[in-house]
Amino acid sequence: MNNDAHQKVQAEHLARNAFLYVRQSTLRQVRENIESSQRQYGLRDRAVALGWPIQQIVVIDCDQGQSGSSAVEREGFQRLVAEVSMNRAGIVMGLEVSRLARNSSDWHRLLEICGLTRTLLLDEDGLYDPSHFNDRLLLGLKGTMSEVELHLIRARLRGGLLQKARRGELGGRLPTGLVYGPVDRVELDPDRQVQESFRHLFKTFRRTGSALAVVKAFRQEGLRFPHRVWGGARGGELVWTDLSYYRVTWVLACPRYAGAYGFGRTRSVKLPNGLVKRTKKKVPPEEWYAFIPNAHAGYIGWEEYQENQKKLQQNATQYRSQRQCAPPREGPALLQGLAICGRCGRRMQIQYHERRGHLYPDYVCGAAASRYGQKQCQRISGRNLDRAVGELLLETVNP
């Protein structure tokens, strides 16, 4: 340890704890890259050589397997920042800057707090005092290079993935009804019953023009729909279940059933807190990262697929326009979001009707009707129910 390092360590630093932050980006690195962990834990010897007793060295290693791109989900890093902010840390140690943070905002925030509290920073290359301009400049450059490195790694991985997707060679799990052939070419499921089930679904939608009507038709005909289990003890097994409204809309919206290969149908946005949220907003095929029509066999053509999307959009628009005329959810019903159906256990919805200028609620369990085309489970008048619940509430809270 050189003399310059010992000159930076003052009595005020030794009076506080030394914090060692240990992190690796993935669980696989934690399992296999043991040498990196040993090097990180070995920094305790550096702290002892600078004058810290071993009992004053605090190891924070609860962020193992967490990426350093954001501090949002890293409890250990948040704890470290809190300790530095409360002037409890004399020195913060990490193998390199990327172990502490690969995000410039997180890194410079830590530097700012360390400068205010006169907390030292130590890595494998040396000892730094963020309150000194030259040390802070060097640490800032290290943090910037660490973030650039992460960007380059992501760009290389993303570039290779997109290149493979544009060729239609990026595999993945196929939806039920499609399988990989002998040469990894996508083919229709060889099970004739599975094929006929999907053809019947598209044929019924072509005739009725409604996803819910398809569900009702399958139920009236006593038909079930195939679904392949993924994961668990029954992984890969084909099961037959009642057709639901969600299942119909998902099948109609999947371009694979039209023989098209698509990648990038949704977009991701980065929220202010650093989390990445995958939106459900659909983008047109011309905005997909990769789109190859007629890439493999399908149950319908691409033109019919586009017509189906238009029908679904029109149905959704009509449904929303009807909902605009209904009373708002912030109505007088006392048990909004609280009522549970005593028959099936599902949460009941609220519907209002107007009588003599007043709104009266009805509690409706309509999940079976909207999802499976069955009859409503039950409908209860909310006027008397709310009165009874209100009287019970007053009786309970009154002394």
Catalytic residue list: 25
Which burial class, exposed, middle or buried, applies to 40 when counting CB atoms under 10 A from its CB (0-12, 13-18, 19+)?
A: buried
Q: Is the dihedral of CA 386, 392, 396, 399 positive or negative?
A: positive
CB 279 within 8 A of CB 268: yes
Alpha carbon of 209 to those of 140, 203, 204, 205, 271: distances in Å? 60, 10, 8, 5, 38
Token pair in block for residue 232: 């668990």
Concatenating the DSSP letter of every residue in 1-35 gives --HHHHHH--HHHHTSEEEEE---SSHHHHHH-HH
The CA distance from 26 to 112, in Å, is 28
How many CA atoms lie less than 13 Å away from 109 in the CB half-sphere? Answer: 15
Q: Helix 302-324 vs helix 245-253: angle between axes, to the nearest 10 degrees?
A: 130
